[in-house]
Structure 1
Amino acid sequence: MLLLPQKTLAALLVAVLSVGLIAGAPTVASADAAGRGGDYVPIDSIALLDTRDGTGGTTGVRGAKSVTTFNAVGIGGIPASGVSALMVDVTAIYPTANTFLTIYPDLTDPKASAMNASVGEVMSNSAVVKPGTNGKLAVRNAGGNVHIRVDVVGYFTTATGSTGSGFVPVDHTRVVDSRTGQGITAGTMPTRGTRTANISGGGLVPSSATAVMLDVVVIGATGNGWMTIGSSATAETGIDYAKGATSLGMVVKLNPGASSVTLENRGSAVHVAITVQGYWTGSPTTGAGLRPVPATTLYDSRFPSGAHPVPSGGTVDVAVAGTNGLPTRGIAAAVLNVHAVGSTVDGFFNVTPLGGVENTASTTNFPAAHVARSSLVVTKLGTEGKVRIKNSSGGAVHIVVDLQGWYADPLPFLPTESFSRSTALQGEPSDGSSLGVIVYAHTDNTGQVRVVHQQNPDDFSSVQHIPQFGAEAFTGQPSLTVQNGTKQVQISALNTTGTVWTGAQTAANAPTWATTGNLGGTMVGRPATVTLADGTSVVFAVDVDGRLWHYRQTGTGASWKSLGDVDLTGGVTLVKVDAGVRLIATTMTGTIKTALYSTDGTLSAWVDLGGNVTGVPAAFLNQGYRTAVVARAADGSLVMKKQELGGAWPATWQTVGTFSAAGSPAAILDPALGRIAVVARGSDNEMYRVYETEQGSGTWGEWLRLYENPGDPTAATAATDPTIAPIQNSGGTGFVVVYRNRNNTTIALDRRFAAPGGMAAAKVSPSAVSFAAHLIPTPPA
């Protein structure tokens, strides 16, 4: 990722720093999420790479576009295995051209820069990075000749054990400022001078902490220099600084019971300011564990083409949660690398959880006319998992934000739903002449997602069973959609962790499937998917707060984005219409709401249809791109609303005959008869159906058993609610009703027209409609 514009540096000016104080108590430490590791083990800093003396196996300056690899595990205090990530300091030493360094796992591709340096500077930044599968790291130099040094100050574990510590983030709090005498003797630190600084923040950092995440700012330097910060001569971290102001997010190891650190300055007389961003506890079973990710750019104000820098006092809101496979909740803090690019005046940024009190403690201090400055920032997240970054300078500047990892709070697992609904979908024919295969999917009572592949729509006996997603556990009804272009069927399912996983056929109508990804998120309602008219596949899901999220699977950087908190519960029902897709869902108070989701991703205002309902509503399309909704009322009766011409909804709900349903219904406009058919499970756990007596009449015939085979009562007894899917077979266009019995056997009933009279008789009397039952063979024991 190129941060450096192609122009020469102007002179650096003295930065203006904030002296404001943010008060904030640390969050309560909790057990590391699911014991999955990510605990931090601080060590005395050691060099992994130094091209000046050959440390790490490479000697001499590194040229433009060069890649330098070196061992990162099994060295010093770092074990050879069980290491999920390293906390390193990366230093560029006297580059001959403006450059940036990218550090990344060896044998992978570099993604986002770790730090930026200008001609003649010595500049450093911290980074969280995974070791490569060969135990090595790689550093790429973008431009000019430069010496490179990489120091490691600690590592993160792959599993919770007897060593290491969990992380506790705090509101960014200024605890030391030599300009005011806060936490340190007032006045500049002289050349080769030392000073003791109290970083406890009056109890902000407990005496049991093993390490602390600090933002250290050196102010008013007249040239290159460095300062060390540590609780002892062996436990210290350094900041290299240039003329003006330099800041660095760093980790400092603490000796037992230490509440202060010693600062030693090796440069011009300077002021120093220190902000606490968090600390590591004294136990591997408290605090949050790190989850490293490949360094990825979340926000860049220079793109897309034509974007403008952030003005003086301006802010940008950056989404972290729901991106790059991250959950949408349960993130204790995010590890970000924040870059200031193309500054024209001195300044700094403030990073605040969105919706929180604005944080006045600075990060990423930068001088005027400097190409780029970078600083590691660890921050809590705010509303919808976002942070707000403010440009606290007198001029415009570009902001680039990279994600390096996140700290996980524990979240409860979702229970596996017993006898959740099945889903059915017919694929599109790949050659224009044959009929598409029928795909059935369900999550069984153990949490395994299972797909049944029916190659011939006329033959329900020749099927293949394909388990999905390995040993991962899932819950609830999966969702199916056909992707435009490839015509592959895609499946989406809710993991018991709350994340949404997807898979797809390896080719259109193929019986083989592959996992395509973990989309992240933290949802409680089953996912619902649709492929829009422009080919974009979208996944919708609801979280525990009733907030609706969407994931548009298009281009790069796809992520979960909130569509607002509307107090929804359960799954969302989708109906494709001319302008996009209509969303229908039940609210926490038992009403039904609907909104139109346009193809471009915008959402209309929600319309409250009222009602007193339970479960997941059914919906289908009427002529004129109008939607009809059928739901189960609180008393068990089934009720319906049909959208009117012009789009309005009637005030009252219509009762669908006289019937008491035991669960959520399914409904369709019969493509051959033009009459509405509704199917529901009765209190006797048998499946029933009803038809309109005439097209558009709104009057209903008799509720009849769907499965008329008294010799097979096992198949007739349903354990799940029904699903309806339109299909086409050799008999023409119809539909199939799908449910499962107590043995988890899938029963598919396709609509037929009973002789004598066939469809002609069915148009006169709904009782002439019959359903042929097919028991989908289960895999052999």
Structure 2
Amino acid sequence: MTLLDTRDGTGGTTGVRGAKSVTTFNAIGIAGIPSSGVSALMVDVTAISPTANTFLSIYSDLTEPKASAMNASIGEVMTNSAVVKPGTNGKLAVRNAGGNVHIRVDVVGYFTTATGSTGSGFMPLNHTRVVDSRTGQGITAGTLPTRGTRNANISGGGLVPSTATAVMLDVVVIGATSNGWVTVGSSAVAETGIDYAKGATSMGMVVKLNPSAGGTVVVENRGPAVHIAITVQGYWTGSPTVGAGLRMVPATTLYDSRFPAGAQPVPANGTVDVAVAGTNGLPTRGIAAAVLNVHAVAPTVDGFFTVTPLDGSPNTASTTNFPAAHVARSSLVVTKLGTEGKVRIKNASSGTVHVVVDLQGWFADPLPFLPVQSFSRSAARQGKPSDGSALGTIVYAHTDNTGQVRVVHQQNPDDFASVQHTPLFGAEAFTGQPALNVLGASKQMQISALHTTGTVWAGAQTAANAATWGTTGNFGGTMAAPPVAVTLADGSSVIFAVDVDGRLWHYRQTGTGASWKSLGDVDLAGGLATLGLDAGVQLVATTSTGTIKTAVYSTDGALTGWTDLGGNVTGVPAAFLIQGPRTAVVARAADGSLVMKKQELGGAWPTTWQTVGTFTAAGSPAAIVDPALGRIAVVARGPDNEMYRVYETEQGSGTWGEWLRLYENPGDPSAATAATDPTIAEIQNSGGVGFVVVYRNRNNTTIALDRRFAAPGGMAAAKVSPSAVSFAAHLIPTPPA
């Protein structure tokens, strides 16, 4: 059904459209499209006889995307399909880049915002050639004559089941001597057309099927005699509960071989790997297929592309067929994704060509929700001073047992009673410990949290040390463990997370087009600790086999090889720096004891683990080198759910004092009983540089224990005996009921 045709005024606009013109038209509530509940439309966009080389962009009548829907050269009539979200006003817009051109837009289907008892799920297939008139595959052999019709079987011998309601095809017209068009459909009212030019032309299209036709469609040619080849890319199942549902994103460019300036085109028979998953807020798994627009730009010879899931069996079926010395050709492609959510695009020609890949949407496989973890660890961090005199505020954050992310803002580091509570991310549900890091030049605190869908969300203070928080964002991904965030020495922010396969991912918040990228599959269990270094960050992680591994992530994003420290541990390790600088690790062994390794001068690691005193821990420990005493302090929750601590007897001694209760004079017994594992955060207040130990009790009340030096003797006494170190307990006030 036609929504816009500037030749006859359909859609409300008559006459050619000039360079940089924008044409708007109604897109819902007409042509059988509902007036509400429409998430996207599948449309065919046609440029008719432009007076200059041009491209058309189609988008909701809101914000123009930075991606074209199709390209056309002077005098051509060229069509391409697009998936586009209608605007809130029910309109679409088409922008013409150059010259004068007539524009036509036809709708071939729509997607709904919610599942129900009607509709179809999408089932992607490996691109498979099912029809080729040159060989007689699926159709009578020989060219299709002018005004000729021919039946073609696109079922592929059962590849497309008889219950399918529609099919995603790539149709290629081969050997044309002049302009023309071919229609493909199951009836006169259920057909899609491909406009073609001299040579070979291809187009991705959706064709509605007639269940009684046995997978047969009618192909009709309105132009010179041509050959026809058809590739199937997927089908709609006919069932709303079988197959994947469409998710929309604003059309955006994923890859452009022309940039940066001076970049080289893809060589003859060369390939490029394009990341799709983890970009533009997409998950890193659970993507059944991606909806891409693939453009061939400035080819030197005739050819075509193939699009294949990375590390899959290479597809040989063509897409985006292009003629030599042509400005650009475009074709919609629906494809499965391969390893790390990537596709491989091959230039199947003997010359060079530039390739541009745009993302229009994706089909989602159902994934299980992550459960909300009860009494997950809190996070705590002190902000950077906003000027040279004031001390930074302290921020505490946790995810409560309902999945709500909560932030506590302590303006004065000396005043634990005056705080502000802020729930974040609205009604969305999260799980696990949030991450806090201070962004570079802005000095704003950022919080990152794991959504129950596996995506990672983030938000930041509206200003450095502010109690208010700005717009939150969904960074995508599909992770199994909570994120860890760091700010590198150059001020750039990086978020790390581990997926269900033990693969480590990083999200660098620098420049444009930030996305999740894999750092490799090393079978991590999700327990991850980080330490800031001058040249990057030290990563320390627990593996699925219970060992500890460590690697260095450099400022430029490179990762060293992993060093396996061995062990038989559980939970999240604690990592901290000692003089050298060297890394030290404390972890909970499988039998509940706490063990430690310290890196040696020169970087080597000892072969054996040292036991940290005689203690059985009920959870993961926290550890720090006391900034004032220079001795290692370890804190852990005991089997009685009280918090305990131990100090080295002397600096660097490797021998341990007595394990003591952290909360020595609780007053309120419920405050002494910990429901979470501890977190340690280094802070500075009027008493100098110290640290706080943070945990929550069964009432989800945050308890912060400020390390002090007990009188008489103060710090001098503490240097002699660890028992002289005391901790002042502060119950952070909860919001009024």
| TM bucket, shorter chain | over 0.9
Equivalent-residue separation in structure 2 for 1:338 and 1:521 (angstroms): 24
- Partner in structure 1 of residue 331 of structure 2: 375
Equivalent-residue separation in structure 2 for 1:728 and 1:507 (angstroms): 20
Judge conservation of contact 1:541–1:571 (CA < 8 Å) in 2.
no
- Partner in structure 1 of residue 345 of structure 2: 389
Equivalent-residue separation in structure 1 for 2:634 and 2:212 (angstroms): 70
Alignment of 1:330-409 (within 5 A): 330-409=286-365
- Partner in structure 1 of residue 480 of structure 2: 524
Q: 1:210 aligns with which of 165, 168, 189?
A: 165
- Partner in structure 2 of residue 734 of structure 1: 690
Q: 1:247 aligns with which of 191, 202, 209?
A: 202
- Whether 1:719 and 2:638 are equivalent positions in the alignment is no
- Partner in structure 1 of residue 75 of structure 2: 120
Q: Greater shift after overlay, 255-264 or 597-606?
A: 255-264
- Partner in structure 1 of residue 51 of structure 2: 96
Aligned length: 736
- Partner in structure 1 of residue 455 of structure 2: 499
- Whether 1:306 and 2:283 are equivalent positions in the alignment is no
Q: CA deviation at 1:712?
A: 1.6
Equivalent-residue separation in structure 2 for 1:436 and 1:198 (angstroms): 70
Counterpart residue type for residue 663 of structure 1: G
Judge conservation of contact 1:578–1:625 (CA < 8 Å) in 2.
no
- Partner in structure 2 of residue 262 of structure 1: 218
Judge conservation of contact 2:708–2:727 (CA < 8 Å) in 1.
yes
Equivalent-residue separation in structure 1 for 2:399 and 2:634 (angstroms): 24
- Partner in structure 2 of residue 510 of structure 1: 466
Equivalent-residue separation in structure 1 for 2:23 and 2:229 (angstroms): 34
Equivalent-residue separation in structure 1 for 2:12 and 2:152 (angstroms): 37
Judge conservation of contact 1:212–1:278 (CA < 8 Å) in 2.
yes
TM-score by length of 2: 0.99
Q: CA deviation at 1:162?
A: 2.4
Q: 2:506 aligns with which of 550, 554, 561?
A: 550
Counterpart residue type for residue 585 of structure 2: V
Equivalent-residue separation in structure 1 for 2:705 and 2:55 (angstroms): 63
Counterpart residue type for residue 123 of structure 2: V
- Whether 1:777 and 2:733 are equivalent positions in the alignment is yes
Q: 1:568 aligns with which of 524, 543, 548?
A: 524
Q: CA deviation at 1:370?
A: 0.5
Q: Secondary structure at the match of 1:714?
A: helix
Alignment of 1:124-163 (within 5 A): 124-163=79-118
Counterpart residue type for residue 478 of structure 1: P
Greater RCO structure (CA 8 Å; 6+ sep):
1
- Partner in structure 2 of residue 321 of structure 1: 277
Equivalent-residue separation in structure 2 for 1:696 and 1:515 (angstroms): 46
Equivalent-residue separation in structure 2 for 1:69 and 1:393 (angstroms): 39
- Partner in structure 2 of residue 468 of structure 1: 424
Let me know the Cα RMSD of the aligned residues.
0.6
Counterpart residue type for residue 233 of structure 2: Q
Q: Deviations over 1:288-327 (max 9, x none)?
A: 0000110010000011112100001100000000000000
Counterpart residue type for residue 473 of structure 1: A
Counterpart residue type for residue 103 of structure 1: I
Counterpart residue type for residue 14 of structure 2: T
Q: Secondary structure at the match of 2:736?
A: coil
Q: CA deviation at 1:109?
A: 2.1
Q: 1:66 aligns with which of 16, 21, 33?
A: 21
Counterpart residue type for residue 181 of structure 1: G
Q: 2:495 aligns with which of 539, 542, 556?
A: 539
- Whether 1:479 and 2:439 are equivalent positions in the alignment is no
Counterpart residue type for residue 358 of structure 1: P
- Whether 1:76 and 2:31 are equivalent positions in the alignment is yes
Equivalent-residue separation in structure 2 for 1:257 and 1:681 (angstroms): 68
Q: CA deviation at 1:515?
A: 3.2
TM-score by length of 1: 0.94
Q: CA deviation at 1:713?
A: 1.0
- Partner in structure 2 of residue 436 of structure 1: 392
Judge conservation of contact 1:208–1:257 (CA < 8 Å) in 2.
no
Alignment of 1:266-277 (within 5 A): 266-277=222-233
- Partner in structure 2 of residue 188 of structure 1: 143
Equivalent-residue separation in structure 2 for 1:318 and 1:686 (angstroms): 51
Q: CA deviation at 1:389?
A: 0.4
Equivalent-residue separation in structure 1 for 2:512 and 2:538 (angstroms): 26
Equivalent-residue separation in structure 2 for 1:473 and 1:701 (angstroms): 42
Q: Secondary structure at the match of 1:86?
A: strand
Q: CA deviation at 1:125?
A: 0.1
- Partner in structure 1 of residue 544 of structure 2: 588
Counterpart residue type for residue 641 of structure 1: K
Q: Secondary structure at the match of 1:396?
A: coil
Q: CA deviation at 1:614?
A: 0.3
Counterpart residue type for residue 414 of structure 2: D
Counterpart residue type for residue 761 of structure 1: A
Equivalent-residue separation in structure 2 for 1:257 and 1:133 (angstroms): 38
Equivalent-residue separation in structure 2 for 1:515 and 1:595 (angstroms): 33
- Partner in structure 2 of residue 280 of structure 1: 236
- Partner in structure 2 of residue 36 of structure 1: none
Equivalent-residue separation in structure 1 for 2:51 and 2:428 (angstroms): 51
Equivalent-residue separation in structure 2 for 1:163 and 1:105 (angstroms): 25
- Whether 1:54 and 2:4 are equivalent positions in the alignment is no
- Partner in structure 1 of residue 596 of structure 2: 640
Alignment of 1:209-248 (within 5 A): 209-248=164-203
Q: Secondary structure at the match of 1:763?
A: helix
Judge conservation of contact 1:117–1:373 (CA < 8 Å) in 2.
yes
Equivalent-residue separation in structure 1 for 2:581 and 2:446 (angstroms): 25
- Partner in structure 1 of residue 558 of structure 2: 602
Counterpart residue type for residue 363 of structure 1: T
Equivalent-residue separation in structure 2 for 1:122 and 1:76 (angstroms): 24
Equivalent-residue separation in structure 1 for 2:293 and 2:204 (angstroms): 9
Equivalent-residue separation in structure 2 for 1:578 and 1:509 (angstroms): 25
Equivalent-residue separation in structure 1 for 2:678 and 2:630 (angstroms): 21
Judge conservation of contact 1:108–1:132 (CA < 8 Å) in 2.
no
Equivalent-residue separation in structure 1 for 2:445 and 2:655 (angstroms): 37
Q: Deviations over 1:34-54 (max 9, x none)?
A: xxxxxxxxxxxx100000000
Equivalent-residue separation in structure 1 for 2:116 and 2:666 (angstroms): 59
Q: Secondary structure at the match of 1:515?
A: coil
Judge conservation of contact 1:49–1:70 (CA < 8 Å) in 2.
yes
Counterpart residue type for residue 690 of structure 1: V
Equivalent-residue separation in structure 2 for 1:668 and 1:556 (angstroms): 36
Q: 2:380 aligns with which of 421, 424, 444?
A: 424
Q: CA deviation at 1:709?
A: 1.6
Judge conservation of contact 1:333–1:381 (CA < 8 Å) in 2.
yes
Q: Deviations over 1:651-694 (max 9, x none)?
A: 11111111000000000000000000000000000000000000
Q: What 5-or-longer segments of structure 2 have no aligned partner?
A: none
Equivalent-residue separation in structure 1 for 2:458 and 2:471 (angstroms): 6
Judge conservation of contact 2:425–2:472 (CA < 8 Å) in 1.
no
- Partner in structure 2 of residue 611 of structure 1: 567
Q: Secondary structure at the match of 1:257?
A: helix
Q: CA deviation at 1:622?
A: 1.1
Q: Deviations over 1:416-470 (max 9, x none)?
A: 0000000000001102111100000000000000000000000000001100000
Counterpart residue type for residue 63 of structure 1: G
- Partner in structure 2 of residue 413 of structure 1: 369
Q: CA deviation at 1:477?
A: 0.2
Q: Secondary structure at the match of 1:295?
A: strand
Q: 1:682 aligns with which of 607, 616, 638?
A: 638
Equivalent-residue separation in structure 2 for 1:625 and 1:359 (angstroms): 51
Structure 1 pair 710–747 and aligned structure 2 pair: CA distance change class (3 A): closer
- Partner in structure 1 of residue 411 of structure 2: 455
